[in-house]
Structure 1
Amino acid sequence: MKKLSVIILVILTFSATFAQKKPAYTPKIEPCPCAFKADSSLKTTCAYLIVPENRNKPNGKTIKLPFIIAESNNPNKKKDPVLFTGGGPGASSLGFIGSVHNRSLIKDRDFITFEQRGTHFAVPNLDCNDIGEALKKAFMYNLPKDSMLLVGVKQCRNKLLAQGIDLSAYNTVESAADIEDLRKALKIDSLNLFGASYSGGLMPTVLKNYPDGIRSLILDSPLPLFVNIDEEELVNFNEALNTVLTKYEADTIGNLPYGKLKDRFKQYFTAITGKDFTIKYLPKDAKDSLTIHYSQSELIGYLLNTLYDFSRIKDIPMIVSEMIQGHHQVYIKDFLSGIFRNGGPSGMRMSVYCSDKMAYARDAIIQQQYQLYP
């Protein structure tokens, strides 16, 4: 009887603890203007999800997360809609709604695009241009890029804190809870989750934490949470580039217009390690040209950007051949235009990376990549 009493007491204690952890708030829906609309053939509804910024402070500040619902025209549509969020982390998701009418998913189900907390159309967002501006200054005045990026990150962080933003609340776990709250607020029994890139890791987190409300996952080019991208980035780049150049060298119809490239690429880029190049560059709307210093890093950065552009992957052999011959100008100018045009990574990207990735990154492993792929 004594043991039974102890067991009952333990069960009651756990039950009381669990009851205390139940949400002390009710997620709300509020109509809002549409940042984007689906094709005119589909009915579009736009609204905010309103939830606590930090669920450990349920009576504290709230945030607004916009979402867009495109309704299927099928009178016999399924009751479980598709919900999409994008990658980055930090990229906006809402614009995806504009292409939904071309997708088979809308034939049988409604389609929801949901803006993750901290991203562009969320209130508040963690947008800041400090990191991009710091990188521009590094190029303009030939300053150490890593040091300047750190300056930009600190400025971005201080700016967001000054706005009263609780950065500890902007992470994958909270974003997963936002999706569950949206499901409940819309009274949806079951969701089909569609995530691209970073959201290919976010969606399994939703499934893990809230399995009862999920029917299926669609993971497009997923970056799972168990992969630490900083420990593998150069390995992945090397594999992607090797794949392209191997296919080029195996092309019996093309007759290798640029010769054998794989070995030449490695020899050339290893030989220019640490070498400094300069170029005259005129930024948009500027009166005077700048003398910009660049290195192997920027050339590889251009190749990496090209590998992300499916329409230009076919150009990689030609670009590699040009670079090996020292013809850098056109590519570096294009690379610099991207630097001077874009604002750099957002505060949301940095917040998620700090909480989910960099805290677990092993610097020794990251540095080993540079030994393997100089």
Structure 2
Amino acid sequence: MAIIPAVSARPAKDPVVFMTGGPGGDAIGDIPFLIDSGLNRNRDLIVMAQRGTLHAEPNLACPEVDRFYADAVGLRYDAPSTGRLLVRATKECRHRLTRVTARGVELSAYNTTENAADFADLRRTLGIERWNVYGYSYGTDLALTYLRRHPRGVRSVAIDSVVPPQIVSLPWTWDSAGEGIRTIFAACAAQPRCKKRYPNLPRVLTEQVRRLEARPLTVMARPPAGGALVKVVLDGGALVNLLVANAVPAVDVPAALDELARGNPTRFARARAAGATPVVGEFAHGLTQSVACSEWVPGYTRADLLRAGRRAFPGFPDTVLAQAPQLPFEYDVCRAWSVPDRTAVQRVTTVSAVPALVLSGTFDAKTGARWGAYAARTLSRSTVVRIPGIGHWVVPQSPCAQNVLGSFLARPTSPDTRCVSGLSPKPFTITPTPETA
């Protein structure tokens, strides 16, 4: 746990506590982004490593899974053989961690309910009467759970890139992916130069996903950070997941798709190559699976997931749509992880009158922007803000969102949102046509 003092010489008495995403992210590693975003400008900032993550004991890191993902850049994304390797790595991690559970730690105890209770204990331990909660991505699921179960002492809640606990599931990931990608294409169509240069992006994407799924490309690519060339395989599933992960900046997506269609996969290949050099042991995949397998996966079948994929992208092959974005082979992984179903206590709507700020980026393909407004329906004193042209985790990317959050912390019931009305997505990258190049 870290406390970053306020910059102000006369800080407010109610600090901000941060809840990071993942699940499994390193909250301590997020501190530079939070400071740069002004979270400690007028208040102390409290950052705690969530249970099971880096800097916590035990740490549910899975180096076995990290190594799998490094190797997977050279494999078909959604091939059954790739899934078997992921399940094997997951089993190896679970077996190793289970040796820890013999000393009294249970993987099933790593869930959002217990995570929220840890933050309630932290407030009492620090003797803080009231504080403000800020969470992003999975941290919004956690923040809403915390608000529902431990409302005492909460002055305000800001949620950024929203994961409503009552709705999050594997099928939900396809809804978010479809919304985010379609919004990027619509923004291109709203810019005359982009529309003229790249007039049929939805069709191009569908054609390229189908082409790569039928005949994957194997190329050598240099990771964006430099280093040796890496063998990468681009199939339809890899392409879709690079878009969902914003691995290619949104402003470059139309150009990257056009280049791919013309035989140049460089932008996507380099983005895929970035996965070949992960920081082993930093991300807590064990917390990811303990939360996802107990709270997100139960109650929906593989057929439900496939139907959701077909609704979002009706022209994509079923082999792509059978895997949830960012969570491939999750049904098989969860069978190996084996934690009990907790949806009865976790898949619950948060109803609250605590002032809330709900931030979403219109280009977010992980947590679609419409889910912010959905969560706000039962937060009676909420302000909903959509930042055009921004993807996942809005505040560090948007000075306007930083100003809105700062004004919300100062006046939770009447934040200043005027900067939003003047925003529009940045101009998209326009490359010369082959005829004029």
Same-fold call, TM cutoff 0.5: yes
Q: Which residue of 2 aligns with 1:346?
A: 285
Q: SS at the partner of 1:256? A: helix
| Cα deviation code 1:34-77 (max 9, x no counterpart) | xxxxxxxxxxxxxxxxxxxxxxxxxxxxxxxxx11122254543
- Who wins on radius of gyration, i.e. which is larger? 1
Structure 2 residue corresponding to 1:167, chosen from 79, 101, 107: 107
Q: 1:356 aligns with which of 295, 303, 306?
A: 295
Q: Which moved more, 1:127-136 or 1:350-359?
A: 127-136
Structure 2: gaps spanning 5 or more residues: 317-437
Tell me if 1:193 matches 2:130.
no
User: Take 1:124 and 1:167, find their aligned partners in 2: how far apart are those partners?
Assistant: 11
Task: Supply the distance in 1 between the matched residues of 2:205 and 2:198 (Cα, whole angstroms).
Answer: 12
Q: Which residue of 1 aligns with 2:51?
A: 117
Would you say the 8 A contact 1:94–1:114 is kept in 2? yes
1:151 and 2:88 are equivalent in the alignment: yes
- Between the two structures, name the one with larger relative contact order (CA 8 Å, sep ≥ 6): 2
Supply the AA of the counterpart residue of 1:193.
V
Question: Match of 1:181, SS?
Answer: helix
Residue in 1 that maps onto 2:215: 275
Task: Kindly indicate whether the alpha-carbon contact (under 8 Å) linking 1:282 and 1:290 is maintained by their aligned counterparts in 2.
Answer: yes
User: Structure 1 residue 247: deviation in Å?
Assistant: 1.7
Name the TM-score, length of structure 2 as normaliser.
0.62
Out of 293, 297, 304, the residue aligned to residue 244 of structure 2 is 304
Q: How far does the alpha carbon of each residue in 1:159-209 deviate from its partner, in whole angstroms, 9 at most, with x for none? A: 111123421111111111110111111111112111111010101111111
- Compared CA separation, residues 247 and 348, structure 1 to 2 (3 A): same
Letter in 2 for 1:362: T
SS at the partner of 1:279? strand
**2:119 aligns to what?**
179
Of 325-334 and 188-197, more deviation after overlay is shown by 325-334
Question: Alpha carbons of 1:98 and 1:272: their partners in 2 closer, same or farther (altered >3 Å)?
Answer: closer
RMSD after superposition: 2.8
Partner of 1:77: 11
Conservation of the 8 A alpha-carbon contact between 1:191 and 1:214: yes
Distance 1:137 1:68, change over 3 A: closer
Query: Within 1, Cα distance between the matches of 2:167 and 2:42?
Result: 34
Residue 265 (structure 1) aligned with residue 219 (structure 2): no
SS in 1 for 2:197: coil
Q: Is the 8 A contact 1:135 1:148 kept in 2?
A: no
User: Alignment identity in percent?
Assistant: 27
1:131 to 2:65 alignment? yes
Structural mapping, 1:278-297, within 5 Å: 278-280=218-220, 293-297=233-237
Q: SS of the counterpart of 1:69? A: strand
Instruction: Name the SS for the 1:78 alignment partner.
Output: coil
Is the 2:113–2:145 Cα contact (8 Å) retained in structure 1? yes
Equivalent residue pairs, number: 303
* Distance (Å, rounded) in 1 between the aligned partners of 2:198 and 2:284: 36
- Structure 1 equivalent of residue 189 of structure 2: 249
